[in-house]
Amino acid sequence: MIFYIIIFTALVILATLEFLRRKYKIDDITKKSRELINKYNETRDEKVLMEVVNMQKAFFQYFLLTSIIVTVPIFYVISLAHPNFEQIDNTTIKLPDIYKNHKFAVYYDKEFLGFYTSNENSLVILDREISKENLKFELVIIKLPFKLPLFNKDWLSTFGSYLLIYMLLSLAFSVAKRIYKLIYKTRT
C-alpha cells in the first residue's frame, strides 16, 4: 500500500511540474530572456532590461510554486517511514492499519533486531521481550541486492524509495516525451 502511495505521489508531482512548466512557458522564457540579455548587452536599453525583469518575475513565481509542490509531499513520504505504534505486550506491537503486511527493520537500543513483517491485523510479533521506549521501526520499501556503502543497509525506506521511483519515472517521462517529439516531427 505504501509503495503505491509513493508511486502516486511521484506521478502527481511529475504531472504538476509539467503542467506548471507549460503554463508558465518556461522554455520560451528561457530562450527569450537569453536573447533579450544579449540585446541588452549590445544596446544598454532600459526597455529591454524591464522586459527581462518581467520575465524573471514569472520564472520566480514558477520556482516558488514548484518548490512548494516538491517539498510538501516529501514531508508526508518521510513521515510514513517511522510509524507510531502501540505496545500490546512485551513481544507484540500494534501498528496503524496502513502498515498491514509491510516489512520493517526493527531496532532496539540502537541494535538491529532483524526484519519483521506485520500481519493482516497490523501486528508485529518480535522474538524477544522489549520495552516501547527504546524501540524503533523503519519501513522497508525496496530491498536491494547490494549494500549501500554510506548507510550500510541493503534496503531503502520511504524517502530513498521515493527518490529512486521519482528519478525512474522522470527518466521514463523524458524518454517518452522525446520519442513523441521525434515521431511528431517526422510526420510533419
Q: Are residues 106 and 143 in the same domain?
A: yes
Distance between CA atoms of residues 157 and 142, nearest Å = 7
What pLDDT is attached to residue 188? 59
Mean pLDDT across the chain: 87
Q: What's the total number of domains in the chain?
A: 2
Range of the domain at 75: 2-80+160-187
Q: Are residues 31 and 119 in the same domain?
A: no
Q: Are residues 165 and 152 in the same domain?
A: no
Residue closest to 108 by CA, chosen among 140, 133, 125, 89? 133
Distance between CA atoms of residues 170 and 148, nearest Å = 23
Residue 182, SS3?
A: helix
pTM: 0.78
Distance between CA atoms of residues 140 and 24, nearest Å = 38
Q: Are residues 147 and 166 in the same domain?
A: no
Q: Which residue has the higher pLDDT, 188 or 97?
A: 97
Q: Are residues 150 and 170 in the same domain?
A: no
* pLDDT higher than 80, residue 168: yes
Q: Are residues 178 and 149 in the same domain?
A: no
Q: Are residues 69 and 95 in the same domain?
A: no
What pLDDT is attached to residue 2? 87
Residue closest to 132 by CA, chosen among 80, 79, 92? 92
Amino acid letter for position 165: I
Q: Are residues 32 and 16 in the same domain?
A: yes
* pLDDT higher than 80, residue 45: no
What pLDDT is attached to residue 25? 85
Cell representation of residue 157: 525506506
Q: Are residues 45 and 109 in the same domain?
A: no
Q: Are residues 75 and 165 in the same domain?
A: yes
Q: Which residues contact 111 (CB under 8 A, 6 or more apart)?
A: none
Question: 95 near 85, Cβ under 8 Å?
Answer: yes
Strands 111-117 and 142-148, bridge-based pairing: unpaired
pLDDT tens figures, 77-127? 988 888 888 888 888 889 888 888 889 888 888 888 888 899 888 888 888
